Amino acid sequence: MTEQASAQQVVRDHLAKIHEQPQVPAAERVELRDKIKRLLKERNAVLVAHYYTDPEIQALAEETGGCVSDSLEMARFGRDHPASTLVVAGVKFMGETAKILSPEKQVFMPTLEATCSLDIGCPIEEFSAFCDQHPDRTVVVYANTSAAVKARADWVVTSSIALDVVDHLDSEGQKILWAPDKHLGDYVRRETGADVLLWDGACIVHEEFKAQGILDLKKVYPDAAVLVHPESPASVVAIADMVGSTTQIINAARDLPNKQMIIATDQGIFYKLQQLVPDKEFIIAPTAGSGATCRSCANCPWMAMNALDNLAYVLEHGGNEVHVDPALGVQAMKPLTRMLDFAAAKPKS
Ligand code: 13P
Ligand code: SF4
């Protein structure tokens, strides 16, 4: 089985498991939430969550002075927060990024099993050999990668800053080696006109969005704006009214005049969308081809592994601490810091 096919099987297995799993009863959920709040305080810990995690985890992060955001802001927030312990609800690369940027802090995750198809599809040995074949290129890697891949890079970027960084490098005449997301890399290449050589990786969630399905949906909602995450295929990006990171999608949903929005990213974002823009209607973009049994399967199976019970468990008992090889961490901190410094210097739009 190829990496991509096996990653797709993980999604199918995981979605099947979610449907099978009995829901934790409401009373137990209240107890878990109270316990998490108490333990965060006792442990001088702060909860840093991504928009794709369970809405109850996002709410807890907000209520306890943590943060809910895209991956760029998660990195910045974790680095700059004075708490001695970070609890990162998201996927592995987010926990590793937090540890690399704050080696002196303890970083925990509800589960260390939550990875990402982009990270899986970019093993360090092959990636390093690819870089060695192209020594004339500046190596730009997406944040959705291992610590070892970051350590091999000149720049790390997230989807919210990728265009600006590559535009800047292009203006200096630099040629780019981009990894791992081919869709985001191709989008960056088209938008900036830079010379970008692509690694062949993809997000198993965003790759499934279907342009034809969105066009069919537009017949039902002709006034809806189409908001797309750039990990989606070019055919989907081509029909978007706006393309951007999760935070940029939320801002566009607030700022665009349309009353209805078709959203091509993980459904976890609907919690924040509905909270911040309650007067608008959000419709998930279809992922299903003809004959499929689910209309949209836009749920990252790894993000969904973060739950109230495993979050409470790590706070109570420890375990699931994120460790990064210190030598790799020192190397990986350089391109990550370069990204955060670049973002901080960028005029606010
Ligand atoms: P953002 O940086 O836009 O939050 O994206 C992270 C991610 O993993 C999207 O699939
Ligand atoms: Fe990775 Fe895609 Fe999940 Fe984001 S949604 S963490 S890119 S698999």
Domains of the chain: 2-117+303-323 (3.40.50.10800), 118-204+330-345 (3.40.50.10800), 206-284 (3.40.50.10800)
H/E element holding 119? Answer: helix 117-120
Sign of the alpha-carbon torsion through 149, 194, 189, 94: positive
Separation CA 91–CA 266 (nearest Å): 14
- Tokens 């955001």, residue located: 69
The Cα 73–Cα 87 span in angstroms is 15
Pocket of ligand 2 (CB under 6 A): 91, 116-118, 144, 203-206, 231, 266, 300, 302-303
Protein residue closest via CA to atom 3 of ligand 1: 245
Residue 293's pLDDT is what?
59
Cα 266 to middle of ligand 1, angstroms: 9
Asked if the bond preceding 233 is cis, omega within 30° of 0, the reply is no
Summarize the confidence of residues 26-53 as an average pLDDT.
96
Mean pLDDT of 46-52: 98
The rounded distance, in Å, linking the Cα atoms of 297 and 11 is 9
Query: In the structure encoding, which two tokens stand for residue 235, read together?
Result: 């055919």
Nearest CA to ligand 2 atom 7: 203
Write out the two tokens for 184.
């985001």
Query: Is the per-residue pLDDT at 271 higher than 90?
Result: yes
Which pLDDT value is given to residue 21? 58
Average pLDDT, the chain: 93
Least reliable range by pLDDT among 145-159, 268-282, 294-308: 294-308
> Which residue lies with its CA nearest to atom 1 of ligand 2?
116
What's the pTM value of the predicted model, to 2 decimals? 0.93
For residue 117, the ligand closest to its alpha carbon is 2
DSSP helix/strand/coil, 332: helix
